[in-house]
Structure 1
Amino acid sequence: MNAIAFHFNVPAPVPYLCRLLRKATHAGQRAWVLLPPALAHELDVALWTFAPEEFIAHARHATVEAEESGQVGSGQCLWQRSPVVLAAQLIPQASDWPLLINLLEPVPEGFERFGRLIEIVPQDEALKQAARLRWRHYSQLGLALKHHDAAA
């Protein structure tokens, strides 16, 4: 794990994620995005429509689950070909990816397999409190932490 960055005070997570994922994919980085299912659906739609001249290729967690269970197609799994995966959890096979983006409350189990971790923290007080606990956890592990105020 090279770096952990907390992006605090994110006013609207979906547009923020669209811009962040555009930047990552333009830099050639693959990203695994951990987020609640309802937010994953909203982001899925936004990634198709946020800019008229762009599309960010991505796979949804439901698709990943279906392929993992053998319900979808054959050959290489969709998530292995996608530059961005939207999921509610990590799967063991998702390793050695450059970037993990987390919008879930607990510390992601297996986060250390990724080169970088970005914690997105909306303006909601309960989510801020959960982020403080994650900050403390990473800090106790001796990891380098960065703080970015998205509202600034």
Structure 2
Amino acid sequence: MTEVVFHFNVADKLTYARRLARQALRRETALAITAEPHDLLELDRTLWHMEPTDFVAHCHAEDAEPALLQASRITLSADPRLCAHRDRLLNLGPELPAGFDEFARVVELVSLTDEEDRARARRRWKAYAAAGHPISRHDAAAGGVR
């Protein structure tokens, strides 16, 4: 069954997502990232403009050739079912991601200050819990992801 981890008190979700992507790459873990299309474009732009030592190679599932998609550890997609790997899914979107239960772990980010985002996260938490998925919490304000 898919494990779900909520990282709450996230000051900037895109910055935090970049850190998680960099961490996954360093640990040689595959990470699919799903979000609204405009957020994926912004994340893509920032991943290309990181410091050279922090560069995170990635691809878009919708545009990638099959060989590139298979070789990429970090994949961006509005539809995570298009991603080749099923290790971890980072959801930056407002709803439960399509096909989330195909992944070993789903990571949800919850804003520190955006009350609407926090309310949507509570609804996602309830949906995961109702489906029986084990859920854990991580306080991003306490540190831990660099």
TM range (shorter): 0.7 to 0.9
Query: Pairwise mapping of residues 7-26 of structure 1 onto structure 2 (< 5 A)?
Result: 7-26=7-26
2:46, 2:6 → 1: CA distance? 22
1:109, 1:144 → 2: CA distance? 18
Q: Identity, % of aligned pairs?
A: 35
Aligned position for 2:100? 111
- Tell me which amino acid in the other structure corresponds to 2:133: L
How big is the shift at 1:96? Answer: 5.2
Query: Pairwise mapping of residues 1-152 of structure 1 onto structure 2 (< 5 A)?
Result: 1-64=1-64, 76-91=66-81, 93-94=82-83, 97-122=86-111, 123-152=113-142
Aligned position for 1:72? none
Question: TM-score of the superposition, structure 2-length normalised?
Answer: 0.85
Look up the SS of the partner of 1:108 in the other structure: coil
1:80-138 deviation line (CA, Å, top 9, x unaligned): 221111111223x5365110000111111211111111011223111111110110111
Structure 2 residue runs of 5 or longer lacking an equivalent are none
1:86, 1:94 → 2: CA distance? 8
- Tell me which amino acid in the other structure corresponds to 1:89: D
Question: TM-score of the superposition, structure 1-length normalised?
Answer: 0.82
- Tell whether the 8 Å contact from 1:96 to 1:115 is kept in structure 2 after alignment: no
2:122, 2:9 → 1: CA distance? 13
- Give the direction of change, closer, same or farther, for the CA distance of 1:46–1:95 in structure 2 (3 Å limit): closer
| CA RMSD, Structure 1 to Structure 2 (Å) | 1.9
1:95, 1:48 → 2: CA distance? 21
Structure 1 residue runs of 5 or longer lacking an equivalent are 68-75
How big is the shift at 1:43? Answer: 1.1
Paired residues in the alignment total 141
How big is the shift at 1:10? Answer: 1.1
